[in-house]
Structure 1
Amino acid sequence: MMRAWISPMLLVLSGSVVAVGLILNGSTAAAVALLVAVVLFAGLNSPLIFPRSIGALEAERRSAADGRPVVFWRPGCVYCLRLRIRLGRSARRLHWVDIWRDADGAAVVRAANEGNETVPTVVVAGRPHVNPDPAWVREQLSPPA
């Protein structure tokens, strides 16, 4: 759990140190702008913008029941962030598993990626897809015609 917050906390801490230096040099406006930018960037790299994660076993159970894909991700992954942002509101329809919080999820990803924890790994109908195009993932949410 803590590992997911290390990067955002370090970003805010280092940005705060630089902002204090700017304030001491008389650049209050620059310090405020820097802090706002750092906090926004830290938020993007935190688990906050992703839908609530569930365990891999629960995600697989739900996916079997409703047919929706399972997304294995981790905080700080730019490709996971890209997928999440490009999916928009439809991201909430997927089952999200944070591999840093769920050992079973990490094991599923390693099994699908020759021992590597490459994310995002999207499992559709039991078949893993590594870093798929967000438009393709969105299509998987649509019912077949």
Structure 2
Amino acid sequence: MNDPEGAPAVSAVHVYWRPGCPYCFRLRRGLERTGLPVEWHNIWDNDQDAAYVRSVNQGNETVPTVSIAGQALTNPGTRQILAEVRTRAPHLLPPADGSPKRSWLPWRRRKPA
């Protein structure tokens, strides 16, 4: 999946979603915490995106559908997406700086002593 110059051809994780989908909302929150580059495609705004989702889901418009380097995943969790990115597109992973991830729960945030 590389171009002739050696640069990775995949620049982001593609997520196909629709408004009002609670599974899409949950996935969006999870992916925001990962630091992965993500492109969001609203299937109600673009007929080509909807056709892609139908083509990988036996004619159904099941969302969220995620595409990583040509591999389609239907209704995956954040962990499953991260595992697939590690396998198919490790260059998309954010650099590991060793610092712990900040908790999104306000009562779990602790200031350094």
> Is 1:87 matched with 2:34?
no
What is the TM-score normalised by the length of structure 2?
A: 0.62
> Is 1:143 matched with 2:90?
yes
Aligned pairs (5 A) from 1:100-139 = 100-139=44-83
Q: Go from structure 1 to structure 2 and tell me whether the alpha carbon gap of 1:122 and 1:110 turns closer, same or farther (over 3 Å shift).
A: same
Query: Deviating runs (4+, > 2 A) in structure 1?
Result: 64-68, 88-92, 141-144
Q: Go from structure 1 to structure 2 and tell me whether the alpha carbon gap of 1:78 and 1:91 turns closer, same or farther (over 3 Å shift).
A: farther
Residue 92 of structure 1: CA displacement?
6.4
Residue 121 of structure 1: CA displacement?
0.4
Unaligned runs of 5+ in 1: 1-63
Q: Aligned with 2:50: secondary structure? A: helix
Q: Go from structure 1 to structure 2 and tell me whether the alpha carbon gap of 1:92 and 1:75 turns closer, same or farther (over 3 Å shift).
A: farther
Residue 67 of structure 1: CA displacement?
4.2
Unaligned runs of 5+ in 2: 1-7, 92-113
Deviation digits for residues 60-110 of structure 1 (CA, Å, limit 9, x no counterpart): xxxx73342211001100110110111224466111110010100000001
C-alpha separation in 2, matches of 1:128 and 1:105: 13
Greater C-alpha Rg: 1
Name whichever structure is richer in helix by fraction: 1
Name whichever structure is richer in strand by fraction: 2
> Is 1:78 matched with 2:22?
yes
Aligned pairs (5 A) from 1:1-145 = 65-90=9-34, 93-139=37-83, 140=85, 143=90
Q: Which residue of 2 aligns with 1:45?
A: none
